[in-house]
Amino acid sequence: MSDILNKTVVLVLNRNWQAINVRTPADAFCQMATDAATGLDIDGAEFIRPVRWAEWRELPAREQDWSVNTVHGPVRVPTVIVALNYARVPMKRPAFNGRNLRERDGNRCQYTGELIKPEDGSIDHIVPRSRGGGNTWENCVWSKKSVNNRKSDRLPREAGLKLLRQPKAPAPMPVTAFIRNPLGIEDWKVFLGATG
């Protein structure tokens, strides 16, 4: 299964065992071979053991494991590694998009305060794009479609509208909050939770 080498199927933890990234097996093998990381031999939440590269190469590949063939025989692909010299949890700001904007604004129209369904709302540019306004956290709010249509290409005060609060970019969050497990890798759930 050599194509697995280039898929992001390895969860990277910092030395405090907090999820910080996702890597390919090729990257993980390089980190392990240079002693920058250890692989975790995981058998459910009850058995987790850090394993250095020299021992990892000798671990038998279990039926449920991915493995790659080498001249020395099959080598198990780690599902989780620990970066030994890295303690930080990087921070990241959520991507600017409609879903995150709705979330920032609590699904409320920022002119009326009314709770609205996603299909009843739209992104409003406070300074319209036709007047030089950009797609930024500070220039966009969630608005009822009818209010947004009424505002059209005017400034809020020109349309008789007032913002409930001045919009701003959401605070950066730990990168762990952005790591997803689309393949449903069981070993990741120990570190990301069942919803990761």
Maximal C-alpha separation, the chain: 75
* Helix, coil or strand: residue 59: coil
Tokens of 134: 């950009």
pLDDT exceeds cutoff 50 at 45: yes
Close Cβ partners of 43 (under 8 Å, ≥ 6 residues apart) = none
Confidence of residue 63 (pLDDT cuts 50, 70, 90): confident
Q: What is the 3-state secondary structure (H, E, C) of 114-159?
A: CECCHHHEEEEECCCHHHCCCCCCCCEEEEEHHHHHHHCCCCCHHH
Give the class (CATH, top level) of 98-159.
mainly alpha
| 131-176 confidence digits (pLDDT tens) | 999 999 999 999 999 999 999 999 999 999 999 999 999 999 999 8
Query: Quick count: other Cβ atoms within 10 Å of Cβ 176?
Result: 19
pLDDT exceeds cutoff 60 at 9: yes
Domain ranges (residues) in the chain: 2-91+174-192, 98-159
pLDDT of res. 1: 45
What's the average model confidence in pLDDT over 50-62? 90
